[in-house]
Structure 1
Amino acid sequence: MNPQKAGHAYRPVDLAREHGISSQAVRNYEHDGVIPAARRTPSGYRAYTEVHAAALRAYLALVAGHGYAGAGEIMRAAVRGDLDAALRAVDSGHVQLVRDRETLDAVEATIGVLTAAPAPRPPGRPLTVGDLAHRLGVTPATLRKWERAGVLSPARDRTSRQRLYGPDDVRDAELAHLLRRGGYLLDHIATVIRQVRAADGPEPLVASLHAWRQRLAARGHAMLVAAGHLADYLAATNGDSPAARR
């Protein structure tokens, strides 16, 4: 099959073969609105065109860069002719990529602190909110704000319900304090802290950063490729291609 051949009608299997997917997947994509509805032959069979081939290329490329939800939002808007909504969804994907890069930068900024000679550990007993606030030079209200933002999650005394900060909580609070001084927002800091907790310490986190940055680079490249395919689809629907939608 040569999907670039103008004026040719394609079956679901023809579109599917280019991408190594099933014919049913193509029909499902049509049903979901991420490629245009096909013309039906007198016998009831779907007849796809170059525009459908371009839409399918665009959607699958967008999935690689924006994920299924983002790709679906972009293509459904494009298929219904709402260019503004489609481009807004594309912009949202790029904004999220920038935020993810900033989060990675924030995590990397903490590595020096995490891997440096450890600061004096808090006493064996957990710290109270007042103790920790004094240690950091902030107010107890600040620590409670960080908790509401998901940065901290101290235990509570069963009787008094007083907040109790163990060694890991103190580490998280010190990282948060560092990042706040660096100008990072609390939602970013909460993401960083989750990464540190999930990695179970600095060493596994350091090892994962290179792979994390590679994944972000791959996503950015996929977005560039997808943008080209989306532009091809939009050109086809605007009459810049000999293909017709139906």
Structure 2
Amino acid sequence: MRPIDLAREHGLSTQAIRNYDDAGVLPPTARSETGYRRYTPLHAQALRAFLALRGGHRHQRAVEIMRAVNRGDTESVYRLIDAAHIALLAERDTRAEVATALGALSSTAPTPVHGRPLTVGELARRLGLHPATLRTWETQGILHPVRERATGYREYGPDCVRDAEIARQLRQGGYPLPQVAQFLDSLREAGGADALSAFLDSWQDRLSTRSRNLLAGAAQLDTYLTMLDQTEPSAAGER
């Protein structure tokens, strides 16, 4: 098989095939007497496996996996794949925690603050908390008050008061401080509860897509590994 034969199946250029070959994505390649690369069905399957892996693992990690396969280091292959699934599970758990926190919020919107920002004591009285609690929330990244230039005192504007009231509700629901901070970060990034709900739906879709991509990559890689096991070393090249 020629580079063009591998490239045509995937709509790639022949230069891309040569680049993947040089990068170690493909198994060692024999050359003709005139120096042309000669590919086999094994190389074609290696390319399918790499392109499928890239969908779930991204480009560089897919390259690392294929290099490990081609040098016979299956332990590294399995570790790289396992790490991707662990990271995806952690992200899935994070998304679930944020969604649960959103659902735990009271349907009653916080009362807007008008006028000047509140001091730490005023906000503490509004929430029925000790000022030290608000300072702890600040160190945990839950609240981000500004400092008054002349005195250095904390000032809590409308957004900060809203965050404090949400944090109080979540804490009353038993959520630990790191999860409260995580939720508020997601809320700020999304731009509000409605936007966050839409963001969570989109996030779930991305997680599902990546899970399917990981499965597709594993299937193609398994086929490649089976072909390698069935190929004589002399035909497969140095692994």
Q: TM-score of the superposition, structure 2-length normalised?
A: 0.80
More displaced, 126-135 or 152-161? 126-135
Instruction: Give the corresponding residue for 2:50.
Output: 59
Match of 1:139 among 133, 138, 158: 133
Question: What's the % identity of the aligned pairs?
Answer: 43
Q: Give, in angstroms, the shift of residue 123 of structure 1.
A: 5.9
RMSD: 3.1
Taking a change above 3 Å as real, the CA distance of residues 140 and 58 of structure 1, as seen in their structure-2 partners, is same
Q: Is 1:203 aligned to 2:194, yes or no?
A: yes
CA contact (8 A) 1:11 1:47 kept: yes
More displaced, 236-245 or 49-58? 236-245
Instruction: Give the corresponding residue for 1:74.
Output: 65
CA contact (8 A) 2:110 2:162 kept: no
Instruction: Give the corresponding residue for 1:182.
Output: 175
Q: TM-score of the superposition, structure 1-length normalised?
A: 0.78
- Does the residue aligned with 2:212 lie in a helix, a strand or coil? helix
**How many Å separate the matches in 2 of 1:176 and 1:71?**
41
**How many Å separate the matches in 2 of 1:168 and 1:212?**
25
**How many Å separate the matches in 2 of 1:44 and 1:130?**
80
**How many Å separate the matches in 1 of 2:184 and 2:210?**
23
Match of 2:4 among 9, 13, 38: 13
Q: Is 1:50 aligned to 2:41, yes or no?
A: yes
Q: Give, in angstroms, the shift of residue 80 of structure 1.
A: 2.1
Instruction: Give the corresponding residue for 2:28.
Output: 37
CA contact (8 A) 1:156 1:162 kept: yes
**How many Å separate the matches in 2 of 1:122 and 1:142?**
22
* Equivalent pairs, count: 232
More displaced, 34-43 or 91-100? 34-43
Q: Is 1:164 aligned to 2:155, yes or no?
A: yes
Instruction: Give the corresponding residue for 2:96.
Output: 105
**How many Å separate the matches in 2 of 1:34 and 1:176?**
49
Instruction: Name structure 2 gaps, 5 residues minimum.
Output: none
